Amino acid sequence: QVQLVESGGALVQPGGSLRLTCATSGITFSLSVMGWYRQVPGKQRDMVALIDRGGSTNYADSVKGRFTISRDNAKNKVYLKMNSLKPEDTAVYYCKAIFNGLVYWGQGTQVTVSS
């Protein structure tokens, strides 16, 4: 059974930082492409950051220079470090795994940026 469990979401003030964690099981993590997406009510889920099996990364333009995706293959985890947070970063953040041609999602974690 594949499980992706996000954690680390919180209420934070503008300019603050958070680190999201996605713990995985049931997949061969080192062979998986991992990503973070976000969604606000009434809008589509958008890609935030991706990291492939070799560690190459890709970011949405809106988060470049502020967010960093990383992975720990020994721990089967992927992280999203978010700095200089803005109110427009408020969303539910989802972890995504692509393994053996199949896509898996976590349940999401809420990030709220507000003073």
Query: Residue 64 — pLDDT band, cuts 50, 70, 90?
Result: very high
29: left (phi over 0), alpha (psi -120 to 50) or beta: alpha
pLDDT at site 2 = 95
Question: pLDDT (tens digit, 9 = 90+) per residue, 27-46?
Answer: 999 999 999 999 999 999 99
Express as a percent the part of the chain with pLDDT over 70: 100
CA distance 72 to 67: 17
pLDDT value at residue 32:
96
Q: What is the mean pLDDT of residues 43-52?
A: 98
Joined tokens for residue 71? 């992975």
Distances in Å between the Cα of 51 and the Cα atoms of 10, 67, 77 are 23, 13, 12
d(Cα 11, Cα 18) in Å, to the nearest integer? 9
Q: Let me know if 72 is exposed, middle or buried by CB neighbors in 10 A (0-12, 13-18, 19+).
A: exposed
